[in-house]
């Protein structure tokens, strides 16, 4: 799909990966609807990019349906959707105080896996009404996992399960949606300098990235955005989870 004229929903768009992607899309002639939490900087980001602002909480599984419908109306259609809203509750399967909290496990699955599937199914439904483009495409969904989906570290059991779920459903959803020309791709980043990692000092970042092949540093949000744009532009990128990690493999801790 061409970025020029693209209509995109960017969930988590107030910060980090999603903000950088929204900026790239807007700078290349696309239109963005920024979805993020009410308390985020989403309004300012949307204004800066001549986009529209739609406060939401992806954990409000029913309410987000209306927010997405409003965003699609504001855009005048929907070609692409990126979801980065996510995160996790840390803790080992059993700790000193007892077994890992099932509520925390469930909350992590809800935010990452259920939240992603919910926005995917709703966005795909809107995309399914599009006239196909010259490549027979009606839309593209981009999700966010983590390299922890493949080699989760000690204390990441809930996060790993949730992100592995996102990676695991990618091919199946791409197959489900192939007949209507909607692609699904997931990006699995290593550590990047975003709002999520704002507390990581330079010294700590050096330790955290020492096992990368090259470059041994935190990734930059725009490096994620460049991949997201490449996914949108390339019709053959589908059904896969792409690692974006400088060759890093997480050690157990
Ligand atoms: N930054 C990293 O090192 C890294 C590495 C691997 C994976 N990830 C994944 O990237 C995503 C985070 O993106 P980021 O790193 O750009 O962080 P970020 O904090 O800069 O941006 C995430 C955005 O998502 C929004 N968000 C969070 N929960 C939400 C909710 N319930 N409803 C609506 N919006 C919500 C936040 O307000 C924020 O603006 C997560 O899915 C995380 O698991 C990050």
Fold held by 7-243: Rossmann fold (3.40.50)
**Ligand 1 atom showing the smallest separation from residue 86 Cα:** 41
**Ligand 1 atom showing the smallest separation from residue 17 Cα:** 16
* Secondary structure (DSSP) of 130-176: SPP-TTS--EEEEEE--GGGTSPPTTBHHHHHHHHHHHHHHHHHHHH
Contact 250, 193 (CB under 8 A): no
226 vs 28: CA distance, rounded Å: 12
Nearest Cα residue to atom 1 of ligand 1: 192
202 is catalytic: no
Question: Which of the 8 DSSP states describes residue 100?
Answer: P
What is this structure's pTM?
A: 0.98
**Catalytic hit among 17, 53, 105, 159:** 159
**β-pair type (98-99, 139-144):** unpaired
Question: Which of the 8 DSSP states describes residue 91?
Answer: B
* Secondary structure (DSSP) of 11-38: ETTTSHHHHHHHHHHHHTT-EEEEEE-T
Residue with tokens 């996060």: 159
Residue with tokens 């196909």: 132
Nearest Cα residue to atom 32 of ligand 1: 57
CA angle 163, 125, 69 (to 5 degrees): 95
Query: Tens digits of per-residue pLDDT, 64-84?
Result: 999 999 999 999 999 999 999
63 vs 81: CA distance, rounded Å: 18
Give the start-to-end residue ranges of the domains of the chain.
7-243
Query: Tens digits of per-residue pLDDT, 215-227?
Result: 999 999 999 999 9
Query: Tens digits of per-residue pLDDT, 44-69?
Result: 999 999 999 999 999 999 999 999 99
Closest alpha carbon to 196 in 224, 216, 170, 172: 224
174 vs 128: CA distance, rounded Å: 13
How many angstroms separate the alpha carbon of residue 125 from the centre of ligand 1? 24
pLDDT tier at 137, thresholds 50, 70, 90: very high
């Amino acid at each position: 799909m061409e970025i020029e004229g693209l209509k995109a929903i960017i969930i988590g768009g107030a910060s980090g990966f999603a903000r950088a992607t929204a900026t790239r899309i807007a700078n290349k002639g696309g239109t963005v609807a920024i979805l993020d939490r009410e308390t985020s900087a989403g309004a300012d980001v949307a204004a800066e990019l001549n986009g529209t602002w739609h406060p939401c909480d992806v954990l409000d599984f029913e309410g987000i349906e209306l927010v997405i419908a409003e965003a699609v109306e504001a855009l005048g259609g929907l070609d692409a959707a990126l979801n980065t809203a996510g995160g996790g509750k840390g803790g080992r399967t059993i700790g000193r105080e007892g077994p890992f909290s099932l509520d925390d496990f469930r909350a992590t699955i809800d935010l990452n896996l259920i939240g992603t599937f919910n926005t995917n199914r709703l966005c795909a439904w809107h995309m399914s009404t599009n006239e196909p483009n010259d490549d027979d495409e009606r839309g593209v969904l981009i999700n966010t996992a983590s390299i922890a989906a493949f080699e989760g570290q000690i204390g990441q059991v809930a996060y790993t399960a949730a992100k592995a779920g996102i990676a695991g459903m990618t091919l199946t959803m791409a197959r489900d949606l192939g007949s209507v020309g909607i692609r699904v791709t997931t990006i699995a980043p290593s550590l990047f300098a975003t709002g999520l990692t704002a507390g990581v000092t330079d010294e700590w970042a050096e330790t955290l990235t020492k096992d990368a092949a090259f470059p041994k540093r935190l990734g930059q949000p725009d490096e994620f955005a460049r991949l997201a744009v490449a996914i949108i532009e390339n019709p053959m990128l589908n059904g896969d989870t792409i690692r974006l990690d400088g060759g890093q493999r997480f050690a157990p801790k």
